Structure formats: structure tokens, C-alpha cells
Amino acid sequence: MKIQNTIKVFLLVTVFMSLNAIAEKKLELLEEVKPPPKNFESDIVDEPQITITKQGADMVEEYRINGELYMMKVTPPAGGPSYYLLKEDQDAGWAKYDGPTQPLTVPKWVIFRF
């Protein structure tokens, strides 16, 4: 019991001393940051462009960012389950995604080019 009381007093004194040291510092105001202009446009697009087409009996939704197709959602007719086709990288094909776990994508780094 006596050791616990000593630890509590030590912690209380430590907190009080650190609060006192923080209070003694003089704080300076930073200059005011101006908001971005209202008509600001960036190259970065927050939302993808979605194009819905029909290919045969399937309905295909194409998702693009900055004109680059990166994902397709395919919905078969008669209420079948939808599935997604994700672009693996710039040069590769498509990976099918139809469940709660994402498809395995293997890293394809270019180390040397000859």
C-alpha cells in the first residue's frame, strides 16, 4: 500500500511539473492559411467516370479515372451474381473478383530494361 501511494504521488508530481513547463513556454501565432480558390481544378479526379453498356445479354459498367479503364462490373441477365474484372497492371490482362476476398495480384516490378 505504501509503495502504491508513493508511485501515485511521484506520477502526480511529474505530471504537474510537465504541465508547468508547458505553460511557461510562449506560444506564437502562425500566419493565417488562405483557402484554395473556388474555381480550383486539379488533374486528380475524385470520382470515376462510369459508362454502362450492354454486351450481348450482360450489362457492363466500365470505371475510368483520367480516361484510363481500370475496372469493369459485369452483371449477367436474370439476376445472376455480378462480378468484377480488375486491371492487374498497364500491360497485363484482367483479374476476376467475385467474392469477399480480393484476387491474388502478384507484384510485377521492372528492375532492368535492356
The set of cell numbers assigned to 8 is 501515485
Whether the CB-CB separation of 60 and 54 falls below 8 Å is answered with: yes
pLDDT tens digits, residue range 86-108?
A: 887 666 677 777 766 666 667 77
Q: What CATH number should be reported for the domain whose range is 49-97?
A: 2.20.130.30
**H/E element, 61:** strand 58-65
pLDDT tens digits, residue range 1-51?
A: 677 788 888 888 888 777 776 666 666 777 887 877 776 666 665 688 899
The residue among 80, 76, 48, 74 whose CA lies nearest residue 61 is 74
The reported pLDDT for the residue numbered 44 is: 62
Distance CA(104)–CA(62), nearest Å, equals: 21
Whether the CB-CB separation of 46 and 55 falls below 8 Å is answered with: no
Global pTM reads 0.49
Domain-wise residue ranges, the chain: 49-97
